[in-house]
Amino acid sequence: MKTIICTTPLEHLKGLKEKLKKYGKVIYRPSVKRSELKKILKKNKKINRIFCNPNRQGYILDRDVLQNSSIKMINTASTGLNHINLDDCKKLGIKIVSLTKDRKLINKLPSTSELAVGLMINLQRNIFRSFQSVKENKWNYSPFIGQELASLTLGIIGLGRLGNFMANYGKAFGMRVLYYDPNKKTQKYTKTNLKKLVQVSDVISIHVHVNNQTKYMLNKKILKFAKKKPIIINTSRGEIVNENDIIWGLKNKLLSGYGTDVVESEFSSIKKSPIIKNVNKLNIIVTPHIGGMTYQGQLRAWNFAVEKFKNN
């Protein structure tokens, strides 16, 4: 019999909790902390499935959490997997089920790219900063004169599903669109290398998964090539950039802004993040991993994910 511990909120998604119960007994603990989950799994050996999502987890499912449990499968309603230690799970014989390869589903989910557009517009038009000024009873546009998107160059890093959405949005705004992706080739946009992209872009938007090739790919060495004081938008993963180097770039005026939905330490300690430490000092906007968190997107994706318990 399947006993599923659900560690992610479902009550905002109509009918989803009831649907999950069709596949086994459900222990609903949407705000469970790491230490508490470890104790629950060790004590209750009937729990053999986990249903999770990275956005509110705040820790990594690794050997320390899982080794004294009866967990046979982790079902994550996400494409990203850096909230799970895959090597540890493999050694423990735990199957990982995700949405990573469900192309027909995820190709219809633009939510994260829509957030990237929002962060881009916010930074280029100083929306948040000017609103804060109005809240202080000021009414002066002079410090907040922004950039016209139609006059700018958008550089896309990673022209996969979300990168394509972002490129299309940029084109709709009249932006010149470049992309860097060794694995993609299209006539729609201009392909370039990473150095050139950083040199000529006004906006750099990141849309890649974390791996050995992409981790810290935007660092001090490559940022030194920036000529147009670009803003960087990161709705992928915090580890794609070297966050200390992003702060260095902002302080040394090589970058004009950083908008992110992710930080590297979000699965350990948010307070350790250099981005969070400087959020009130520099032109930074941070959202709490809300990229895929639209009602429509979650309803489609999480219903699809729950159905995976049928055969797992």
Query: What average pLDDT does range 73-97 have in this prediction?
Result: 95
pTM: 0.90
Note the pLDDT tens digit of each residue in 103-136: 899 988 999 999 999 999 999 999 999 999 999 9
| Same domain assignment for residues 173 and 50 | no
* Farthest CA pair distance, the chain: 65
| Same domain assignment for residues 165 and 301 | no
| Same domain assignment for residues 67 and 139 | no
**Residue 55: CATH number of its domain:** 3.40.50.720
91-96 long-range contacts, CB within 8 A, separation 24+: 91/63, 92/63, 92/66, 92/67, 94/66, 95/312
Q: Is-contact 202 174, C-beta < 8 A?
A: no
Q: What is the mean pLDDT of the chain?
A: 95
Model confidence band, residue 86 (pLDDT cutoffs 50, 70, 90): very high
Residue 159 to residue 55: CA distance in whole angstroms: 23
Is residue 237 in some structural domain?
yes
Q: Residue 66: which of 86, 57, 55 has the closest Cα?
A: 86
| Same domain assignment for residues 64 and 134 | no
Block residue for tokens 């230690």: 85
Model confidence band, residue 1 (pLDDT cutoffs 50, 70, 90): confident
| Same domain assignment for residues 69 and 152 | no
Q: Residue 231: which of 248, 256, 206 has the closest Cα?
A: 256
* Amino acid 69: pLDDT: 97
Is residue 106 in some structural domain?
no
* Amino acid 56: pLDDT: 83
Q: Using alpha carbons, list the distances in angstroms from residue 143 to 39, 79, 232.
A: 53, 40, 21
Model confidence band, residue 281 (pLDDT cutoffs 50, 70, 90): very high
Note the pLDDT tens digit of each residue in 212-255: 999 999 999 999 999 999 999 999 999 999 999 999 999 999 99
| Same domain assignment for residues 93 and 217 | no
* Amino acid 82: pLDDT: 87
Q: Residue 128: which of 115, 118, 114 has the closest Cα?
A: 118
Residue 46 to residue 4: CA distance in whole angstroms: 9
Which residues are CB-neighbours of 296 under 8 A, at least 6 positions away?
Answer: 111
| Same domain assignment for residues 226 and 125 | yes
Tally of domains within the chain: 2
Q: Would the pLDDT of 58 be above 90?
A: no
Q: Would the pLDDT of 55 be above 90?
A: no
Is residue 41 in some structural domain?
yes
| Same domain assignment for residues 94 and 187 | no
| Same domain assignment for residues 178 and 276 | yes
Q: Would the pLDDT of 21 be above 90?
A: yes
Note the pLDDT tens digit of each residue in 167-204: 999 999 999 999 999 999 998 999 999 999 999 999 99
Q: Is-contact 8 56, C-beta < 8 A?
A: yes
Block residue for tokens 């014989």: 93
Residue 204 to residue 227: CA distance in whole angstroms: 12
| Same domain assignment for residues 89 and 144 | no
Is residue 127 in some structural domain?
yes
* CA-based torsion, 187, 189, 190, 196: positive or negative: negative
Is residue 48 in some structural domain?
yes
213-220 long-range contacts, CB within 8 A, separation 24+: 214/158, 214/240, 215/239, 215/240, 216/240, 216/241, 216/242, 217/157, 217/241, 218/157, 218/242, 218/245, 218/246, 219/245, 220/245, 220/248, 220/249
Q: Using alpha carbons, list the distances in angstroms from residue 114 to 187, 290, 293.
A: 23, 11, 11
Structural domain that includes position 174: 111-286
| Same domain assignment for residues 141 and 242 | yes
| Same domain assignment for residues 154 and 10 | no
